[in-house]
Every structure is written in C-alpha cells, then in structure tokens.
Amino acid sequence: MKALSSKRKVPPTRKKRIWGCQFGMGIYQHTPLSKKRMDHLGWYVLPLLVCVGLTVDAAPFDDAEKSRVGYRKTWIQPKISCRSLRSITTTEFTVVSAKIVDDVCRVSGVIPREIRFEVNLPAAWNGRMMMTGNGGLAGQPPDGARYTAQRNLILQFGFATAYTDTGHDNRVEPGGSFAYNNLDKLLDFGYRGVHLTAVMAKQLIRKYYNRSENYSYFMGCSNGGRQALMAAQRFPSDFDGILAGAPANDFTGLKFSQAHRMNALADHPLSLSQVASLGAAIYDHCDVIDGVEDGLINDPRACQFEPERDLPTCTSDEKSSVSSCYTREQVQGLEQFYSTVKVAGQAVYPAFPVGSEGSGPTYGGVIAPGWVPWVINPHGRPLLDVLGSEFFRYITYIVDEPDFNWNEFDFKSKPDNLDMASDILDAVDPDLTEFERQGGKLLSYFGWADPDINPLSAIHYFDQVQEVADGEAGNFFRLFLVPGMFHCMGGPGPSDFDAISPLIDWVEKGVAPESIAARHLQDKAVAFERPLCPYPQVITYDGRGDVKEASSFSCQ
C-alpha cells in the first residue's frame, strides 16, 4: 500500500450456469475450533460466505460459438499412461495421485512446502492450458463443489486445467491464520503458489502429451484477479492471456478501506430497510444522468450524491429504525463511508462510489441490496468485517495479534509490518513492458456496483499502466466496467457475459475486443442487453432505440 499517486515497482522475485465462487474462509469444516476463534470468523454467516470470492465471470464460454478461434476442437492424444506420471521424480514437486476420471487424467500433488495442486489432462486436448484463481484468502481444496463445477466446464472445451490452494488448507488454517508467524506461507499466498503451480503444470503437460501447450491462460476474480495481475507483473511468461475480474490488486489498501467503511457505520448501523431506501434515493438521484432511466447508474463518477444534503434526517420523535429517515449520526457515518481512505495522513484508497446500495440478484439469485452481506448482514457479521479483520490479526503487524480488535485501529499511524505486506501482496506495478514484449494480453472487468472492492482502484491502475506505456496500453491491456454489477457477478446490471472468448480471440487472432456482449437475465431469460465498453469509453444511449437492445447503445 502506497499513496495513490505512486508508481511503485514490485520487487522481482449455455451450458449449465455456474454461479461459481470459491471464498471459503475455512469455516465450513469438521476441524474443531475454539468458540472464540469461531466468533472471530463469524461462523454464523456461513450460508453467505460460501459464495463470495468468485474466480470466473458469470458466463464463461457462453459465446464460444462466436469466437474466431476454434478452441473447442480437440485432437491431441496422450503419449503415455496417466499412471506413469506417478513415477516422476523431481525435487520441484511430488505427484501424490494420478488417475483417470471420466477420460481425464487427474493429477494431484504437493510443491514444497505445502502448495497443493490439481492438474487435469483430458484424453482429447485442445492444446491449451487454463489455470483458475482463488477467492477470499484462498486455501480452498480442489474437491470443493464450486471449483469442481468450474473445472468440469473448462474441461468440456478441451483445456488442460491447473489449480492450487496457494500453500494452505483453509479447513485446517481458517481465514488468515495460515500467515500466523509464517512468512513462507504468506509468500506462497502472495505470489509463489500460482507461479510454481503454472510451471509444474506445464511440465506435466509436456510429459503427458509429449509436447508443450500452444497457449496458456489464467482467469480469476477478486483475489483471483489480484493473482492475475501479479502473474502479469512478476511472471510475464507464465500466461499468454490473463483475465482479471474485480482485482483486489491493491490488497493492503483494500483492507484499510474495509476497516474505514466498517468503522464509519459501527456505532450507528443502518437497518436493512434504510439501506434499501438509501439505494432507492441514490438511483432516483442519478439514474437519469446518462440519458435513459433504466435502473442503472452508467458511470457513478457523474453522480453527485451527498448524504448530508440528499437524505432526510429523522426528527426527535422519529425512530432511526424506520426506512424513511436517518439520524444525524448515521448521515455523518455515511459521509465518512464514502470518503477517501487515509493512513498516517496519506490517501491510500479512493473514495467509494455510489451504486452498490441498489437491489439486484445476489449470490444464489436472491434479490437484495448489494450491501448484503458485505456492509450489513442480518445473519451476523458483515463480510467486510470478517475479511478485513483477518488481515489486521495476522499480516499487518510484525508481532501477530490474533485477538486484535480492528475497530480500535488508529488510522493516524502506519502499521509496522505494512511495507513488507505490501511488497508481498499488492499487485500494483504499472510496468507491464515485459508482459507486452512477450505478446501477453490482459483483459480486466469490474462491476461499477461492487460493494467490496472499489472500481476506481482498477481505473487508477489502468491509468498508471497507460502512463508507463506512453498511452499505448490498449495494445495489450483493456478494462471493461460493468454498470450495476456487484462483486464479480450479480446486481441489476448486465452481469451475464463471456470474457474468456474475446480474450482468446485477442491472444490467438490478434483481434482486440472493442466491446463485450452482456446481458441481464431474469428467470433465465434475457431481460436486456448492453455492450460493455473498454475504458475510458462509456456506454452511450442513442436517444431513440429500445433500451433493452444492445444496438441502441454504443461505446464513446
């Protein structure tokens, strides 16, 4: 984490729809934990936690038939038996299991010290490797339901797949406890786990098919998006194409933002009905700014909503629990909530835009404000609290503080371990020269209504890359902002889109995406369509066409 204006260099070193997610704070487990530890992790929010850290966009491969690349064609056969991979002897990794499962050679093993991996090698291979990232604080086992659904979808298209838990098992070391007095595991989580797994997977591919992959890809969202950008920055030859969704690349800045926002509303929290009214007020104020009243805020930067000015204040005889008004303390808390995050007097994370307060499909298709369960949670602790507190307990300070109460964090002082944590975890190096030189392509997407990670952080990073690249970043890096999309998926916006196929077209055919076709689904039917535009272009209505049709909009 550095001041927002810095240019710090990181030291080198419709098939079945998937509401795919892999957050898994490690609390869905059979390993006994003390009640105190379970309280820290907020075990009572489990039903909501399991779908938080997404790893892919909401509709990968949905537009495969429109791709210029026939990546669905499979023709390469194995040259050795799957079982023979067990006999590989190397100090770099250990194969624990290699067996045929549904015409796929499934290989699992360990990279020293505890980086567990799974590689899947199909009997009919399309010559490509696809590695998927982790959500949350990683540690998810490869046999988790969400990962297996995602893996099986990718295998349907003939890719070899790779996955890692990044060096810890969250069923044994939940939350951030894997980093408790353990620098090696923090390094594995930060960047080593993904890199070493990619290198190892390519070795297995060469051994099994007697040839190297033609192309290698990585896709991930949230922490998986951070992993994606880390790969482009630190290990530019690992992947030819990288898909980074809602990247938590300014990881340390994000954690301070989570603390900042939670502290803002801690003493005077909002009720669920107040959040719904807040969302309605914001959308009433800003929906029409883009020229069409469609239930979306096309670009929240144009929305000048001020809680103190635009929200009704409760009179002395009104209760703040009603949705029609807000106490003065709640209004002041909201003003702080949306403000720039500062630590030791330095701006470290941008002011949060409005838009995530509105209602739309959340995880599992439930209709709720985007703040649920991130900012408020009727069933327990908000996820911003659960996620952020782990960082402060196990990473921020030289002496780990498992019982640290982050509500008492002093924003006027800088934590003593912050610089080291930033160097390990933050993927903010804007110099992608080597990635570009090797022909790499980076496609990123971000929901404008993300309640967890600030979409302005993605814009900030793109602008820095653009400056380093002398205004030519679009040759290898494109960012698409999605109006009304929550964290990685969901929301009232056009959150159903295939970003993988355009990336493959770009890598293999040299056709850069000028837009991405996106849809909003309601009861499995298309409710409306929009083109997603590469930043800095924005979606623009033509002023006369059907607002449900993508053809009525253009990128300008």
SS (H, E, C) 314-329: CCCCCCCCCCCCECHH
Under DSSP, the state recorded for 250 is S
* Residue that the structure tokens 């009727």 belong to: 378
- Strand order of the sheet with strand 104-111? 94-101, 104-111, 115-122, 160-164, 128-132, 215-221, 241-245, 441-447, 477-482
Task: Read off the tokens for 40.
Answer: 């820290």
Report which secondary-structure segment, H or E, holds 518: strand 516-522
Q: How many CB atoms lie within 10 A of CB 256?
A: 25
Domain range enclosing 318: 254-423
User: Residue 412 falls within a domain, yes or no?
Assistant: yes
Examine residue 120 and state whether it is found in any structural domain, yes or no.
no
Amino acid at 490: G
Which residue type sits at 184?
A: D
The predicted pLDDT at position 323 comes to 72
Cα gap 369→364, rounded to integer Å: 14
Q: How far apart are CA 480 and CA 489, in angstroms?
A: 13
DSSP β-bridge partners for residue 216: 129
String of b and e for 336-353 (b: at least 16 CB within 10 Å)? ebeeebebeeeebbbebb
The residue whose two tokens read 């995880």 is: 363
Position 19 in a domain: no
Supply the pLDDT for residue 59: 84
**What's the rounded Cα separation, in Å, for the pair 384 and 366?**
20
In a domain? residue 50 = no
DSSP reduced 3-state for 346 = strand
**Residue ranges of the chain whose pLDDT lies below 70:** 1-58, 317-322
Does some domain include residue 59? Answer: no
The neighbouring-strand residues paired with 442 are 242, 477
- pLDDT computed for residue 18 by the predictor: 34
Angle at 248 between CA 243 and CA 250, to 5 degrees: 120
pLDDT for position 57: 55
Question: What integer pLDDT is reported at residue 322 of this predicted model?
Answer: 61
In a domain, 92, yes or no: no
User: Is residue 556 packed enough to be buried (19+ CB in 10 Å), middle (13-18) or exposed (0-12)?
Assistant: exposed
Q: pLDDT tens-digit profile of 274-323?
A: 999 999 999 999 999 999 999 999 999 999 999 999 999 998 766 655 67
Give the pLDDT of residue 429: 99
29 neighbors 37 (Cβ within 8 angstroms): no
Assess if residue 319 is contained within a domain: yes
Identify the pLDDT of residue 487.
Answer: 97
Examine residue 492 and state whether it is found in any structural domain, yes or no: no
Instruction: Count how many domains the chain has.
Output: 1
Alpha carbon distance 420, 45 (integer Å): 31
* Residue 146 and residue 115 in contact, taking contact as beta carbons nearer than 8 Å: no
**pLDDT score for 528:** 98
Residue 10: the pLDDT is 33
pTM, full prediction: 0.91
